[in-house]
Structure 1
Amino acid sequence: MKDFLELVKARQSDRAYDMTRDVEPEKLERVLEAARLAPSACNAQPWKFVAITDKELSKEVGKATAGLGMNKFAKDAPVQILVVEESANISSLLGGKVKDKHFPLIDVGIAAAHITLAAESEGLGSCILGWFDENKIKSLTGIPAGKRLLLVITIGYSAKPKRTKLRKEKSKVISFNKY
């Protein structure tokens, strides 16, 4: 458990990448395999991961994440992983209706966590982005108009040293047996 907690402590949202270093294909394959193996409600696996490794396309996708002064760094990330919502299976959909939850959104969040932790374990930085021009990225990458692009995750070698994590105190976010 100590190794896992050290990995979690080390993982951060990197917003500057070393543009002189490419992500090795075997490392990216392992990161994507971690995403593929993520758990999902009723094993629906309601996702498709589109790895953008072409330098020019990655730069264009990165530019499509910038807006209102946000995410300017994304154009410098060597890899962008696009997380697209796919149809859930009938069990997940029916369960979601009964419980008033859209399980694919939860499932994608779990897969994103797998991606970022796997990247960290490979010595790579990452950042999960939810602010982007969805239609522009779909146009650039051929994602069908009827699909939802939920997240863009940048991957690359961090250009900055690790920061100290700022988190709420345990007593503010954890309790036992009662709220």
Structure 2
Amino acid sequence: MFTNHSDYFYNLVQNRQSDRAYDTRPVDREVILRIIEAARLAPSACNAQPWHFIVVDEPELKNKLADAAANRVLGINHFTKQAPVHIVIVMEPANLNSNFGSFVKGKTFPLIDIGIAAEHICLAAKAEGLGSCMLGWFDEPAVKKLLDIPKSRRVPLIITLGYPASDEVRQKRRKDFNEIVSFNKY
């Protein structure tokens, strides 16, 4: 099927998408653990690993979490109850070197690190035959209360996981390559 590892990887990237409809099959705990392991191995600035992953797969709690992610007024995230698994990413304090670098460079390295770990989750999910969708729009105080997350912590992302309701891979709408890439100068 694939002539080399790079073919597999680029196919995975090409076919990963934000899935917003899931079928009713549960996701085996072993599969979830492999996906979380992929996130755990993600690189981070100064090896700070500023994350904690909360896997929510208990149906009643997962549905309450889905309610905190949905917004009736804006009509968004109503699909989240279909997803059998939600992974809540909590931003943990970074180590001294990462915090110093964030301050000196004016960048929030923990958020960059979490973005990398989140994409590891989504690509690992795709490799396992699952769909995923990253959510940034949700009621963070409600999520923190539901999951006993300390008030001092932030929750930048929730990722839904499940078997996609359809095998259809949507055509990607992206900016033209030449619009976003240049060599040796802007």
Same fold by TM-score greater than 0.5: yes
Tell me how far 1:18 sits from its aligned partner: 0.4
Q: Could you give the per-residue CA deviations for residues 87-140 of structure 1, whole angstroms, max 9, x where no partner exists? A: 000000011111111100100000011000000000000000000011111111
The CA distance in 2 between the partners of 1:4 and 1:173, in whole Å, is 22
Q: TM-score, length-normalised on structure 2?
A: 0.94
Instruction: Report the counterpart of residue 103 of structure 1 in structure 2.
Output: 109
Tell me how far 1:170 sits from its aligned partner: 0.7
Worse-matched range after superposition: 159-168 or 144-153: 159-168
Which residues in structure 2 correspond to 1:4-43 (within 5 Å)? 4-19=9-24, 21-43=25-47
Choose which of 72, 94, 97 in structure 2 pairs with 1:91: 97
Q: TM-score, length-normalised on structure 1?
A: 0.97
Letter in 1 for 2:181: I
The CA distance in 1 between the partners of 2:107 and 2:152, in whole Å, is 21
Q: Could you give the per-residue CA deviations for residues 14-54 of structure 1, whole angstroms, max 9, x where no partner exists? A: 000102x0011111111000010100000000000000010
Q: Does 1:163 align with 2:170?
A: yes
Q: Does 1:124 align with 2:133?
A: no
Q: Does 1:62 align with 2:66?
A: yes
Unmatched 5+ stretches in structure 1: none
The CA distance in 2 between the partners of 1:175 and 1:54, in whole Å, is 47
Letter in 2 for 1:147: R
Tell me how far 1:6 sits from its aligned partner: 0.4
SS in 1 for 2:94: coil
Q: Does 1:71 align with 2:71?
A: no
- Contact in 2 for aligned 1:59/1:77 (Cα 8 Å): no
Tell me how far 1:58 sits from its aligned partner: 0.9
The CA distance in 2 between the partners of 1:94 and 1:137, in whole Å, is 29
Runs of 4+ in 1 over 6 A off after TM superposition: none
The CA distance in 2 between the partners of 1:12 and 1:57, in whole Å, is 26
Aligned alpha-carbon RMSD (Å)? 0.8
The CA distance in 1 between the partners of 2:43 and 2:130, in whole Å, is 23
Size of the aligned set, in residue pairs, is 178
Letter in 1 for 2:61: L
Q: Does 1:2 align with 2:7?
A: yes
Q: Does 1:44 align with 2:51?
A: no
